[in-house]
Amino acid sequence: MNRDEIRGKAEKGIKEEAGELMNDPELEAEGRAERATGKLREQFGKAKRKVGEAVIAAASAALSSGSSRPDSSAARAGSAPPADTCTSRAATGRSR
């Protein structure tokens, strides 16, 4: 459980219950508003935790599915050839 989830649970209904006990409609209304805020904060915390877990799972899966470094042929695919094999006009000294 992360900080947002804990805080959201703590904000649920404390003032509303106190307002009911003390017969204070303003405190009761404030408690309802805080309960709604707490519920949203708790849901945000849950979503944040689940996203974090998904990122960790994806990173673990990516690392366990193969080596962490690509092999040299895959790394070069689509990239420029090494400098000693360059065949551009500028590299060979030829002009148009």
Q: Residue 14 domain-assigned? A: yes
pLDDT of residue 58: 94
79 located within any domain: no
Q: For residue 89, what pLDDT is reported? A: 57
In a domain, 71, yes or no: no
Q: Say how many domains are in the chain.
A: 1
The answer to whether residue 74 is domain-embedded is: no
- pLDDT one digit per residue (tens) for the chain, 96 residues: 888 777 777 766 677 888 888 999 998 898 888 888 888 988 999 999 999 999 999 999 999 886 555 555 545 555 555 555 555 555 555 555
pTM of the prediction?
Answer: 0.49
| Domain of residue 56, residue span | 1-65
Residue 75 within a domain: no
**Nearest-angstrom CA–CA distance, 5 and 22:** 28
Question: How remote is the C-alpha of 7 from its chain's centroid?
Answer: 19
Positive or negative, the CA dihedral 64, 68, 69, 70 is positive
